[in-house]
Amino acid sequence: MVEAMIEFQSVTKQYQGGHPAVDSLTMSIDKGAITVFVGPSGCGKTTSLRMINRMVEPTSGTITVGGKDISTEPPARLRRSMGYVMQSAGLLPHRSVLDNIATVPRLIGVPKAAARKRAAELLDVVGLAPALGKRYPAQLSGGQQQRVGVARALAADPPVLLMDEPFSAVDPVVREELQQELLRLQRDLAKTIVFVTHDIDEATVLGDKVAVFAVGGRLAQYATPEEILRAPANDFVASFVGRDRGFRHLGFSGADGVQLHSVSTIRSSELKAVAEGGANGHWALVVDDDSRPLGWVSPRGGDLIPGGSLFRPGDTLRRALDAALSSPSGIGVAVDGNGRLAGVIKSNEVMELIEEVRRRREDGR
């Protein structure tokens, strides 16, 4: 049985003269896992997060962390015991990157030299070059600032990391990079992370469990991403998750049943001759001397055409479909663990398998 790190027991936050921001919240957050709070604006997800470190005090109910009632802990000490990452990174503009990261260790009495050494180590952990340690926040990109914010939150090696919409202010490409970086860090560090977002896609990518909050501060559903996508608890959750939840669910369905086929290949060294003479009336896959795919040559010949995304053993049906649909030939390329050609997959067969999975799900099998 998974051990709980954080527990809410009938927790309510009532502001004077208004409706509850959080209404009788009861839930257990697993130790060493990422739990995502998601929901529309004004649903109480950020309020719930901030009650964990007493930035917001609950009106009633009990919150425990590691089995200890947080109301018995001085707020300042409680906050120093947890990492906290916010949307704007919240870096101190007059301090260097290293000194920003060293803030909490210095507050808890770590000598300056040791704190800066720890900060320098964390630059590498979050994927930043050592030279950036001497810069100031204004000299960094938005994505770099958020990485510094994560490093600062990790500096005192806290067991709990609270993240309040930390990636929402960066562009989509950087956001995806930061999401993958967080998952990599979590594999290495196994912190208890509570992450707030308004984006259901981000929630399902990051969360071991997802808590969907409804307007009025009520917990509408608390489950794994797969269960929420497959079986929304009510109409509100179904509406919030969106009509394409069936496609999102493919990200949790294995593609073991996808058949691999052989394909005509040509070496990159032969590409010039094929480009001039055509590819014998069919698409041909171009590979290097190590059998790694490079792209396609059309039936009419011509230049090399990039081949789209690749499908790998153990990937999901969503990845299989993406590989097939992104390929200029309509044929997805499968590679082994070393990136060498393993075969190809056909889009019509992937679609048939998707329909079979959907039918089985609807039949309850």
Please write the tens of the pLDDT for every residue from 24-52.
999 999 999 999 999 887 789 999 999 99
Q: Are 40 and 198 in contact (CB under 8 A)?
A: yes
Return the pLDDT at 361: 65
Percentage of residues of the chain with pLDDT beyond 70: 88
What are the Cα distances from residue 282, in Å, to 37, 44, 285, 364? 50, 57, 10, 42
Output 362 or 323, whichever has higher pLDDT. Answer: 323
CATH of domain 265-356: 3.10.580.10
Ramachandran class of 301: left when φ > 0, alpha when ψ lies in -120 to 50, beta otherwise: left
Domain with CATH 3.10.580.10 in the chain: 265-356
Of 7-11, 148-152, 229-233, 304-308, which range is least confident?
A: 304-308
Close Cβ partners of 342 (under 8 Å, ≥ 6 residues apart): 260, 313, 334, 335, 336
Residue 129 tokens read as 């070059």
Q: Are 349 and 323 in contact (CB under 8 A)?
A: no
* DSSP-derived 3-state class of residue 189: helix
Domain with CATH 3.40.50.300 in the chain: 4-244
Secondary structure element (H or E) that encloses residue 219, with its range: strand 218-223
Q: Are 291 and 340 in contact (CB under 8 A)?
A: yes
**The architecture CATH gives domain 4-244:** 3-Layer(aba) Sandwich (3.40)
Return the pLDDT at 247: 57
